[in-house]
Amino acid sequence: MMTLPTRESMYEAVQNRDESFVGVFVVAVRTTGVFCRPGCPARTPLPENVEFFARPSDALHAGYRPCLRCRPLDLVEQPPAWVEGLLRRIDADPRARITNDDLRLQGIAPDRARRYFLTRYGMTFQAYCRARRLGLALKQVREGQDVFTTGLEHGYDSDSGFRDAFAAVLGAPPSKSETLNVLTCRWLETPVGPMLAATDEHGLCLLEFVDRRMLPTQIQTVQRRFDARLVPGDNGVLRQTHDELEEYFAGNRKVFSIPLALRGTPFQESVWRELLRIPYGQTRSYQQVARALASPNATRAVGKANGDNRIAIIVPCHRVLAADGTLHGYGGGLWRKQRLLELESGQSALM
């Protein structure tokens, strides 16, 4: 379960309309039945009337409705300025070690950075930095650079310290790096919610909504299937995924050209390939997909393979409907399935 900041610090953020806490929590008001972003301009409620949740979905499940003024369900296009600054600093020099004292000198509370990164990126700020450093280190060790030299270049004072850190993050010591695969992952914002994308050296192997309940299981499955660990970073396939998704949501792309790395059971892969054959703007039933695979009695198995799809939108499992044409079985939520189908039917663009 996600850990929230203290109630006192969250209420203070609400009082100060502190938007740097956006993405860390939402505040719900018992007297009005609505929930808001921390920076909502509405009048600050009394402390005894508020309730805090880690995610908007938690507030919705508790019976609250989103505020019409601050629109807490809408996509936040950019992280707060202080987070953007940190990300730019890391990208400029991933090898640099940013200490808590460095954060304080920038006016950033280390605890706030830790919680924000944990909430939005699935790891603390320091873990994010370590993963970036070690991802680069893995590449250098694979290219033949001495382990001790690589460790020193990435800020480790000893060979053993580097080996321990390497194993903790990537799952294997440097001596085994020639056989260790790394999946490069990136957080992508979309009009229907943030997504986690990951690639191996051949293509996209994961694209999933970060609030999907099954995401941890999907990550574990991908890591097992590819014998790899996820490391934050960027590459050409991830940039192409970002760009083509933007075009898709703007209504300007109907066919994706992103290279895919599908890896599942033979039956799963056959279903996923069949999904790729469903044209933009069209749908199929589970039974139709089963018949196309020459397995007319495998409707239920097709449904399960459809649900096990780990590359949402690109492998269009949202285009599969129940036999009566109703929406059914979408891991990202039926509301997303509906919006994607509306986009593809030409009813509206989502950008």
Active site residues: 36, 317
Q: 43 Cβ partners below 8 Å, 6+ apart?
A: none
Span between the terminal Cα atoms of the chain, in Å? 32
Rg (CA), the chain: 22
List alpha helices for the chain, DSSP H.
7-15, 56-61, 81-92, 100-105, 110-121, 125-142, 147-153, 159-170, 215-226, 236-249, 266-275, 286-292, 299-307, 334-344
Task: Give the integer Cα–Cα distance in Å for 283 and 247.
Answer: 21
Closest CA to 259 of 299, 203, 325, 304: 203
Task: Give the integer Cα–Cα distance in Å for 322 and 326.
Answer: 5
Whether the CB-CB separation of 40 and 69 falls below 8 Å is answered with: yes
Task: Give the integer Cα–Cα distance in Å for 103 and 150.
Answer: 25
Task: Give the integer Cα–Cα distance in Å for 27 and 47.
Answer: 11
Backbone phi, psi, residue 49, to 5° = -105, 5
Task: Give the integer Cα–Cα distance in Å for 147 and 154.
Answer: 11
